[in-house]
Amino acid sequence: MKLRNWLSLKSILQYPWIIVLTLLFIGLNGYLIYNNNYYLNAVPLVLLIIYMAFYYLESTFLLVAFLTPLSVNLEEFSNGEIGLFLPTEPILLGLLILLLLKQLITPFVDNKVWRNPIVWSLGFYIGWIFITSITSTSPIISFKFLLMKLWFILPLILIGSMVFKNHRNIIRFIWLYSIGMTIVIFYTLIRHYGYSFGEEEGHWVMSPFFKDHTIYGASVAISIFFILGLLLYKQQGPLLQFVLLVMFSITALGLYFSYTRGAWLSVFVAVMVWLFIKYKVKFKYLLVLGIIVLSTIYFSWDQIQMELARNKAEHTTTAFDERLQSATNVTSDASNLERLNRWNAAWEMYKKKPVFGFGPGTYAFEYAPYQDPDMLTIISTNFGNAGNAHSEFLGPMAEMGTFGILAMVLFVAALFYKGITLYIKFPEDNETNIQLRRLLLFVILAMSTYFFHGLLNNYLDTDKAAVPIYGACAIFIALEIKMIQDQKRIKTTTEQ
C-alpha cells in the first residue's frame, strides 16, 4: 500500500491494524508522558525522516546541514546518561543503514570515490579504530565510538560525494549550514545581551545548542568563511547578497562575543593560508620555514619560557588584545595550564601503551592516574572525569597509539593536499567553474580554521564539527570527479 493511500479515512478503515497500532501508541505515549517520559513523542518525526530518506535522499542529506547547528545533546536532559545529538545523529544513523542496504543491493557509489586519498586515509583511520577497539581497556566504549564514527564518516563522505555531483547541492549545503548557524548566533547574541555581554556568561549562553563557547567559536569561524564564500559567489541575486551581508554581520558579532581565543586566532591562520595559496608558496619552502621555526624554539626554549612566565594576561578579560595575549599565559591562566595537564597526561598514556593505546573513546576514563601532581590546576579533577585530551592529534595518540596519530595526520594531510591541488588545477573555462573555484577556496579556509583548533581542542566526535568537516571532504571529492569528467569530455570533443 502506497503511503499516500494511507491518508484517506476510507483507506485507513480497510486496515484495522493501523487503527490498533495508533491507539496502542497513543495509550503508551500518554502513560509515559504522565510519568514525565517524553521520548515516544519523537516517533512521528522519526517515521517522517525514514520516509524522506527513502524517497528524498538528497533533501534528507541537505537537511542534516541545516539541523547540525540547531541539534541538542540529549545528555543535557538525561543527567549525562545518554550522549546523543538530536535530531542529527539518528538521521545519520538512518542514512548509514540506508547506504549499506543500497550499496549491497545495487552499488551506487562512484568507483572514483574509492580511489580518492581522503577516502583511503579515512579507511585506514576507521580500520585502526576497529583494531584498537578489540584491544581496548573498555571494548564496549570503544565499539560505541567506532559506531559513532561510522555514522558520521560514511554517510557524509559517500552519500555526500554523490549528492554533490550536482554542484547546486554544494551551494545549498553551505547555505543551509550557514543559515542554521546564523539562527544559533542570533539567539546567543540576544541572550548574551541580557547579561551585558559578560565574559563569564559567554561560556554558556549558547546552550542548549552548543556545550560551551569553544566549540561554538570553532563553528562560528567555519561559518564566517562559508558565508564569505557565498558572498563572493557571484551567481546570487541582489536580495540574496543583502541577506548574506546581514548573516555575515551577525556571524562577525558572534565571533567577537564568543570570547574564544582559538576562534579569533584561527581566522588569522586562515588569512595566512590564503596568502600561501594566493602566492603559490611551494610546500618545500613551508617545510624549510617550519624546520627553522621549530629549531629556533628548541634552541631558545629557556628564554621563551622566561618570556612566557612574564605574561600574566588572563582569559577572563573581555578586552580583545588582552584576551589574545592570554593565549600564551602558561603561568597563571587556568585554562592554558589545564590544557598542558591534559596533553602531558596523553603523552604519559602513550608511553604506557605506544602501539595500540588504551582504546578509542577511553581517554576521559583513563587519564586521571597519568596526571602530573605538579601540573594540576584549580579546574583539574582527581577522578579525571572532566573531558578529553584537548587535541585532535594527542587524543588519538593516547587512545590508539602511534598509528592513531599517524591516521589523523594522514587524513588532515590528504584533506588539504586534495583541496589545495584541486583549487590550483580547477579549470576556469566557464563562469560556473570560476565561481565554484572561488567557493572552493573558502571551504579550504574554513577547514584551516577548524584544524588550527584541532591543535588545542577536539570536537570531531560531535556533529557540530563532523558534519562541516566530512561534508567538505565530500565537496572536494565531488568537484575532483567533476573536473576529471569535464577534462575527458573536452578531450573527446577535441579529438572528434
Phi, psi of 490 (to 5 degrees): -65, -40
Tell me, what's the pLDDT at 339?
83
| 487 has pLDDT over 90 | no
Classified as helix, coil or strand, 462 is coil
Per-residue pLDDT reduced to its tens digit, 2-39:
444 444 545 545 556 666 666 776 777 676 666 666 56
Tell me, what's the pLDDT at 128?
97
User: Pick from 366, 351, 346: which is nearest to 136 by CA?
Assistant: 366
Per-residue pLDDT reduced to its tens digit, 391-433:
899 999 999 999 999 999 999 999 999 999 999 999 887 888 8
Cα–Cα distance, 125 to 385 (Å, whole number): 26
Mean pLDDT of the chain: 84
Per-residue pLDDT reduced to its tens digit, 196-242:
999 888 889 999 999 889 999 999 999 999 999 999 887 778 899 99
Cα of 80 vs its chain's centroid, Å: 21
C-alpha cell recorded at residue 9:
479515512
Per-residue pLDDT reduced to its tens digit, 109-136:
888 999 999 999 999 999 999 999 999 9
> Which amino acid appears at position 383 of this protein?
F
Tell me, what's the pLDDT at 77?
63
Mean pLDDT on 429-444: 91
Phi, psi of 73 (to 5 degrees): -80, 125
For residues 42 and 395, which has the higher predicted lDDT (pLDDT)?
Answer: 395
Strands (E), 27-109: 72-73, 85-86
| 57 has pLDDT over 90 | no
Per-residue pLDDT reduced to its tens digit, 267-312:
999 999 999 998 887 777 777 777 787 676 656 655 655 555 555 5
Residue 85, beta-bridge partner list = 73
Classified as helix, coil or strand, 455 is coil
Tell me, what's the pLDDT at 169?
96
Cα–Cα distance, 337 to 229 (Å, whole number): 36
Tell me, what's the pLDDT at 183?
97
For residues 254-273, one letter each, b for 16 or more C-beta atoms within 10 angstroms of the residue's C-beta and e for the rest, the string is bbbbbbbbbbbbbbebbeeb
C-alpha cell recorded at residue 167:
554542484
Task: Give CA separation, 8 vs 4, 12, 306, in Å.
Answer: 8, 6, 78
Percent above pLDDT 70 for the chain: 80
Calculate helix-pair angle for 57-67, 43-55, nearest 10 degrees.
130
Tell me, what's the pLDDT at 280?
82
User: For the residues of 40-54, what is the DSSP string, one character each?
Assistant: GGGHHHHHHHHHHHH
Residue 164, beta-bridge partner list = none
C-alpha cell recorded at residue 338:
589545564
